[in-house]
Amino acid sequence: MSMPIVWMIIGMGVVTYIPRLLPLVMLNTENWPVWSKRMLSRVPYAVLGALIFPGIISVHENVWFGVVGGVIAVILAYIGTPLIVVVGGAIAALAVMTVFL
Amino acid sequence: MVIFCGIGGRMVEVTYDNGETSALKKGIFDGLPIGVGYMPVALTFGLIAGSTGLTVAESVLMSMVVFAGASQYMALSMIALGSGALEIVLATFIVNFRHLLMSASIHERAEKSSKKVKALYAFGLTDEVFAVASTKSPPVKSGYIIGTAIVAYSSWVLFTAVGFFAGTVLPYFLQESMAIALYALFIALLIPSIKKDGKIVIILAILGGAFHTVFQLFMSTGWAIMLATIVAVVVFEMFQLVGKKEVQAK
């Protein structure tokens, strides 16, 4: 292992860890106004939306792969199947599409 | 049994311990789809790391120490371009800045626990681990987050090594189809929240996705996700305030 690369990796690790760590151990939100806590509690849903779009459209050169995979996932999740089944189902659907298209 | 024989604090303590073990198990179970989703991404990372000139030890070390997909890929392309180490570290910081927001959001939802425990699971707070943990109804158990993170981390590190030696061991059609995995996971996390809280969740997700679609056109994806999230939440809050005022005026 070359030492400059190792130091670079350690540096990357530190700057990745800091933003994940600091709010968790330093924030004291007890006296924060209600509206700010309310907004923080809504962050996950906005993040999920941003993580899905627009990325899902470009999982394959053919946009329909993303659309079909997304719809299958919505249906499986809606009927309450476990996370792993939703993921497996979407993969299986696209695998079938890849074979036949 | 515990319920019948336990008295006061002791009973709480016993049920708490049992809860921790099952929380860890539940976390591991819910981490499995992340493990599956990381597989193709880590395999490809290992493969490209090798062709970029990293040794297997360096590639695996990067996955073990950094544990952040987007910035590791970015580091590889920067190494290939001949960028300096400092530049790469700085770029990593910028890409991962968004985790401030996710960490703050988990802070509100996680159960109270010691700083040591929080420091432990903070290391594993990737976008995906955050997504799984934060869609649990609060208070989210520390054990649950740790369990989820362990599976995600193991998959990431293991398949980086496999990818280095074997490349994409998966048959081509499967490797391609597995690109949908993480998106399917995000959808699977969103739907139960929509069923539970309805319109609020749908609107926030659509706003987040729409703003991200616009922002990613002219900024790097780490910043685009963070900014899209902030704008979505603020816009939603403002619309709600306006809505309330109108109701009051009537």
Q: What angle do CA B40, B185, B18 make, to 5 degrees?
A: 105
Range in A23-32, A82-91, B71-80 the model is least confident about: A23-32
Close Cβ partners of B11 (under 8 Å, ≥ 6 residues apart): B2, B3
> Contacts of residue A98 in chain B, CB cutoff 8 Å?
173, 176-177
- The larger pLDDT score, comparing residue B15 to residue B244, is at B244
Q: Can you tell me the distance from the alpha carbon of B142 to that of B24, in angstroms, rounded to the nearest whole number?
A: 8
pLDDT score recorded for residue B172: 81
The DSSP 8-state label assigned to residue B141 in this structure reads: P
**Do you know the residue count of chain A?**
101
Q: For residue range B136-189, list pLDDT tens digits in order.
A: 988 999 999 999 999 999 999 999 999 999 876 778 888 888 889 999 999 999
Share of chain A above pLDDT 70, in %: 100
Q: Do B97 and A10 touch (CB under 8 A)?
A: no
pTM for this prediction: 0.86
Prior bond of A54 cis (ω within 30°) = yes
Give the per-residue SS3 of B171-236.
Answer: CHHHHHHHHHHHHHHHHHHHHHHHHHHCHHHHHHHHHHHHHHHHHCCCCCHHHHHHHHHHHHHHHH
Q: Which of residues 62-91 of A touch B (CB under 8 A)?
A: 65-66, 69-70, 72-74, 76-78, 80, 83-84, 86-91
Shortest CA distance to B187 belongs to which of A81, A39, A22, A28? A81
Chain A, 24 to 63: residues with Cβ < 8 Å from chain B are 24-25, 27, 29, 35, 37-56, 59-60
C-alpha to C-alpha distances, B133 to A41, B11, B15, nearest whole angstrom:
13, 27, 22
